[in-house]
């Protein structure tokens, strides 16, 4: 029986000469049911969906980084840069963001060294460290370079060497996030306590996720960026993960470079602005018979420095030259050319040339500046308070506004000609009456021409505004003119020069033409003494007669035409002696036996002020005396 089972269990041995039997084929598996196929397809689709989802998230994150980088670097102003940083981070990446910068803001062109203090300059989505101010408050202050940024919203935080804040600022390790209330957040909590104090840290609930990132410029650390995500149970958003932290680190790098750029631009803008302001007069001369006021407004931060200028130059006869000009273009070169033209205009005005001659010589000077010279526009006016007349000439400039004594205002239509620097252009002067009570406003086109308002409309708005306003002084006149500016950025700087004409009464002026003869000094003394008695200034008679005699004697020795003698009574007594000799008198040291050269020493000793001015037809020597008390 055992042999039989063995025989049945073992295959038969191969018999010689007999074909070997092949083993049987394996059975074909049965087709799986439809449910199994559906589950397998779902698994494959799920795997594919996971891959596509990761790709979509990556594409979204890259698009966000691209847009955020562009926006962070879209502005040159520090305040705008900080606002852009807050807007790209909140709420897309964080629930709140706080930007701390060094205090004071450093000079980024050189290594500022270790940061001593930090101060909050901008915060979005939180009031931490703001001491009761509203979130997003946009108060501003001016830094050492004039850059405008969000106001100091909290006390300065000292950076302690070896502390958690110094460790973060100087660390080169990859950024890390921490969840408050966990053992891993010990260093982050120490940092927040150092920044905002224990009370500030207590305002952040446990479970809050925080990332602190240094803001590095091109040469040094400029500040710190703190990002906050509130607990997930409050917002439904998880804590910062590794991808979020890497994204925040990249944006912090861009933010640091953007802040560095804004500080560099602010410093360059301030240097150019200071250069331009240094070329403008610090104060205007207060000539008798006219009251002057000026305003200068630089363009907004986004606009480069321009070449607008104003000036007033005293002239003989109590006259005054009024000048407003504008160098076309916006650059440091424009400001430099403005300074050259203003200096030339002062020199030409001192020669007492007619306004059109001054513009002609300015045009020649502009052409000498080189082939790359800038064009400039200019209005030049000379006011005579004795004759109550004003003479104007225009070189491509916007027309000034003349206000009549009855309050009506009109644009002075002048032959504007071509701008200075074109060359080969004739300029014309126009003489207009300027009785007491009238006024003249000179300005540049930045006042009347804006992005939303054409020049012609702006001129009419200005004329109507001045005619309707009630102003009593040149300061008020300038202030009313500035009220027509629309809100928003100014793309150009503005220069204004307002003049209120009071005139000098004819009874306070005496003027004579004297022939250059030997007896002329004696006659001049008698005329001066008679005039002073009529004015009730007998106390000044002796000194005035002596000085008039000396100046007229000197004029007679050099003159070939009649000598002029003028006495003008205002708050001072002014005497002018003119002749046709261009040689200016100079005081000199005389010896005991010298018979000449003592006249100017006498004038310098007796007068309060004296001087000599070369004119186109000769010169004028003048002196002034204070009036006695009670006159």
Chunked mean pLDDT (size 10), the chain, 631 residues: 40 41 47 48 51 81 93 91 95 94 87 87 86 42 36 72 89 85 90 90 92 93 95 91 93 96 86 78 87 86 70 92 88 80 90 91 82 79 95 94 94 86 86 95 90 86 92 93 80 89 94 94 95 94 94 91 94 93 73 60 89 85 90 67
Distances in Å between the Cα of 86 and the Cα atoms of 99, 263, 269 are 8, 18, 25
Q: What is the pLDDT of residue 592?
A: 53
Q: What is the pLDDT of residue 17?
A: 42
Q: What is the pLDDT of residue 331?
A: 72
Q: What is the DSSP secondary structure assignment for residue 519, as one 8-state letter?
A: T
Q: Provide the 3-class DSSP secondary structure of residue 494.
A: strand
- Token readout for 574 is 């002014």
Q: What is the C-alpha separation between 61 and 58, in angstroms, rounded?
A: 5
Q: What is the C-alpha separation between 551 and 462, in angstroms, rounded?
A: 48
Q: What is the pLDDT of residue 244?
A: 93
Q: What is the C-alpha separation between 480 and 464, in angstroms, rounded?
A: 11
Percent helix / strand / coil, the chain, rounded to 5: 40, 25, 40
Q: What is the C-alpha separation between 320 and 439, in angstroms, rounded?
A: 14
Which pairing describes strands 290-297 and 494-501: parallel, antiparallel, or unpaired? Answer: antiparallel
297: CB partners within 8 A, 6+ apart: 446, 482, 490, 493, 494
- Token readout for 547 is 């000085």
Let me know: does 577 contact 528? Beta carbons within 8 Å. no
- Taking residue 506's Cβ as centre, other Cβ atoms within 10 Å add up to 10
Let me know: does 576 contact 613? Beta carbons within 8 Å. no
209: CB partners within 8 A, 6+ apart: 177, 178, 179, 180, 228, 229, 239, 240
C-alpha dihedral over 83, 88, 92, 96, to 10 degrees? -30
500: CB partners within 8 A, 6+ apart: 290, 291, 439, 473, 474, 477
Q: What is the pLDDT of residue 172?
A: 82
Q: Which residues of 459-489 are buried (b: 16+ CB within 10 A; e: fewer)?
A: beebbebbeeeebeebbebbbbbeebbeeee
Q: Quick one: how far is CA 194 from the chain centroid?
A: 36
Q: What is the DSSP secondary structure assignment for residue 582, as one 8-state letter?
A: -
Q: What is the pLDDT of residue 589?
A: 60
| Beta strand segments in 148-297, E | 148-150, 157-158, 177-179, 209-216, 221-229, 290-297
Let me know: does 366 contact 421? Beta carbons within 8 Å. yes
Q: Quick one: how far is CA 290 from the chain centroid?
A: 31
CA angle 433, 434, 440 (to 5 degrees): 125
Q: What is the pLDDT of residue 616?
A: 74
Q: What is the pLDDT of residue 243?
A: 92
Cis status, amide bond into 91, omega within 30 of 0? yes
């Amino acid at each position: 029986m055992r042999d039989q089972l063995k025989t049945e269990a073992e295959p038969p041995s191969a018999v010689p000469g007999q074909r070997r039997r092949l083993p049987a084929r394996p059975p074909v598996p049965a087709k799986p049911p439809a449910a199994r196929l559906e589950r397998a397809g779902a698994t494959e689709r799920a795997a594919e969906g996971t891959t596509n989802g990761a790709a979509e998230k990556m594409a979204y994150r890259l698009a966000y980084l691209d847009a955020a980088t562009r926006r962070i670097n879209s502005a040159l102003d520090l305040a705008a840069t900080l606002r852009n940083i807050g807007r790209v981070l909140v709420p897309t990446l964080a629930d709140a963001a706080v930007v701390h910068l060094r205090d004071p803001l450093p000079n980024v062109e050189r290594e500022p060294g270790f940061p001593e203090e930090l101060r909050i300059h901008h915060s979005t989505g939180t009031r931490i460290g703001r001491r009761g101010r509203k979130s997003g408050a946009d108060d501003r202050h001016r830094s050492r370079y004039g850059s405008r940024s969000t106001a100091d919203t909290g006390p300065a935080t000292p950076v302690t060497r070896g502390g958690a804040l110094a460790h973060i600022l100087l660390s080169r390790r990859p950024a890390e996030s921490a969840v408050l209330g966990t053992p891993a957040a010990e260093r982050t909590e120490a940092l927040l306590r150092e920044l905002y104090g224990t009370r500030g840290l207590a305002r952040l609930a446990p479970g809050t996720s925080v990332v602190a990132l240094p803001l590095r410029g091109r040469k040094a650390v400029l500040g710190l960026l703190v990002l906050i995500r509130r607990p997930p149970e409050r917002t439904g958003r998880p804590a910062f993960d590794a991808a979020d932290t890497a994204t925040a680190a990249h944006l912090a790098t861009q933010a640091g470079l953007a802040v560095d750029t804004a500080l560099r631009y602010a410093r360059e803008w301030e240097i150019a602005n200071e250069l331009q302001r240094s070329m403008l007069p610090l104060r205007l001369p207060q000539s008798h018979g006219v009251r002057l006021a000026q305003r200068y407004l630089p363009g907004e931060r986004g606009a480069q420095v321009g070449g607008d200028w104003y000036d007033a130059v005293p002239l003989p006869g109590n006259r005054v030259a009024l000048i407003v000009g504008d160098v076309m273009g916006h650059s440091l070169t424009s400001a430099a050319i403005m300074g050259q033209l203003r200096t030339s205009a002062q020199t030409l005005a001192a020669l007492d040339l007619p306004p059109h001659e001054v513009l002609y010589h300015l045009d020649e000077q502009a052409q000498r500046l080189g082939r790359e010279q800038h064009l400039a526009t200019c209005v030049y006016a000379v006011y005579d308070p004795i004759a109550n007349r004003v003479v104007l000439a225009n070189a491509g400039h916007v027309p000034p506004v003349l206000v009549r004594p009855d309050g009506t205002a009109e644009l002075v239509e002048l032959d504007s000609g071509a701008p200075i620097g074109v060359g080969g252009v004739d300029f014309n002067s126009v003489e207009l009456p300027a009785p007491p009570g009238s006024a003249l406003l000179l300005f540049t086109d930045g006042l009347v021409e804006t992005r939303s308002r054409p020049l012609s409309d702006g001129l009419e708005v200005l004329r109507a505004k001045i005619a309707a306003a009630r102003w009593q002084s040149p300061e008020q006149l300038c202030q009313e003119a500035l009220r027509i500016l629309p809100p928003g950025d100014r793309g150009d700087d503005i220069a204004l020069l307002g003049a209120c004409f009071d005139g000098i009464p004819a009874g306070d002026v005496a003027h004579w033409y004297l022939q250059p003869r030997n007896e002329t000094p004696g006659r001049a003394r008698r005329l001066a003494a008679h005039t002073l008695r009529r004015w009730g200034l007998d106390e000044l008679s002796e000194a005035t007669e002596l000085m008039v005699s000396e100046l007229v004697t000197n004029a007679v020795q050099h003159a070939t035409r009649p000598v002029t003698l003028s006495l003008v009574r205002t708050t001072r007594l002014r005497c002018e002696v003119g002749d046709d000799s261009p040689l200016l008198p100079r005081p000199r040291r005389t010896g005991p036996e010298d018979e000449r050269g003592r006249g100017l020493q006498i004038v310098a000793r007796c007068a309060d002020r004296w001087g000599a001015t070369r004119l186109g037809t000769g010169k004028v020597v003048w002196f002034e005396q204070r009036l006695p008390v009670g006159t």
